[in-house]
Amino acid sequence: MNQQMSSLPIPSQVIETLRSAGHVAVLTGAGVSAESNIPTFRDAQTGLWAKYSPEELATPQAFRRNPQLVWDWYAWRRELVSRADPNPGHFALVELAGLVPKLTLITQNVDGLHQRAGSDDVIELHGSITRIVCSSDRRVAETWSEAGETPPRCPDCDSYLRPDVVWFGEALPTQALHRAFQAAETCDLFLSVGTSALVHPAASLPFTALERRTPTIEINPDETPLTPHATFVLPGPSGQILPALVAGLKN
Ligand code: OAD
């Protein structure tokens, strides 16, 4: 049984748990960028998967079948991301990292907004939409042309270029996954922020922490499969809850 709390101001028990933590691991999902006007995936009306089919856009098979459609969809999302700015939730995580002895930031987001807010050493489990790689050998392409044929071709081997994101059916980057699980296993506080906690292996991270009896806080306006198990639940938008958490820690 967890403590479903009224979120603002942050309950003192949550602040005390945060204050006594030596290593905080944070997992973020699309919800943390919702207040930057980047659509989430599974929110009923506004989520990307309510309008588009992942099978047609986010699998290696889809790219083989219709590379232009997939490239153009990611080009559209890259454009959205380039016009977006980090929100108070992203900035609060930068500040939090300076207030606790150690913080490991793990994200499922491909938008780079944590880094643009100032977070260092972000573990990107699902890659980055702004990085473009060769679809054959995954080497990063420094430049490519948006004009002409899409997808553009790799200057070295003429294969199509693709975004450096993890598609359904693909493995997550080994090193990032290893570091993420290591953090979940060794932290003494786990924060799950703005994720539906449905997509594995990322969704297993808070449960890995809970198995070790590590206190786990969920920040999300909606319930998720993690909600009944989390030690504390702070229901609400991360752009408000995270700054309040940081303010509570500073008081
Ligand atoms: P989802 O779209 O599945 O979940 C977003 C979560 O954010 C939901 O639980 C919302 O309730 C919550 N949310 C919405 N607005 C919020 C706000 N302002 N503050 C906090 N939370 C808010 O996104 P993810 O969990 O990130 O993978 O999805 C995981 C993966 O599934 C993605 O990385 C992507 C997707 O398919 C790939 O593309 C491989």
How do beta strands 216-219 and 102-107 pair? unpaired
Ligand 1 pocket list (CB less than 6 A): 29-31, 34-35, 40-43, 47, 58, 108, 126, 166, 194-196, 198-199, 220-222, 224, 237-239
Tokens of 73: 């969809």
Distances (CA, A) of 35 to 38, 87, 107, 240, 247: 7, 6, 16, 10, 19
What pLDDT is stored for residue 1 in this prediction?
Answer: 47
What pLDDT is stored for residue 4 in this prediction?
Answer: 54
Below-50 pLDDT ranges, the chain:
1
Same domain for 134 and 103? no
Helix (H, G, I), strand (E, B) or coil at 84: coil
Same domain for 148 and 217? no
The residue out of 113, 138, 165 marking a domain boundary is: 165
For this structure, is 114 an active site residue? no
Query: How far apart are the CA of 195 and the centre of ligand 1, in A?
Result: 4
239, HSE (Cβ side, Cα atoms, 13 Å): 13
Same domain for 188 and 240? yes
Contact by Cβ (8 Å): 128, 155: no
> For 132-179, what is each residue's pLDDT tens digit?
999 999 999 988 877 788 899 998 899 999 999 999 999 999 999 999
Query: How far apart are the CA of 192 and the centre of ligand 1, in A?
Result: 11
Query: How far apart are the CA of 34 and the centre of ligand 1, in A?
Result: 9
CATH code for position 145 = 3.30.1600.10
How many domains does the chain divide into?
Answer: 2
What pLDDT is stored for residue 205 in this prediction?
Answer: 98
The residue out of 144, 165, 186 marking a domain boundary is: 165
What pLDDT is stored for residue 149 in this prediction?
Answer: 85
Largest alpha-carbon pair distance within the chain? 58
| Residue 96: domain span | 1-38+86-126+172-251
Same domain for 117 and 135? no
Name the DSSP class of 32: G
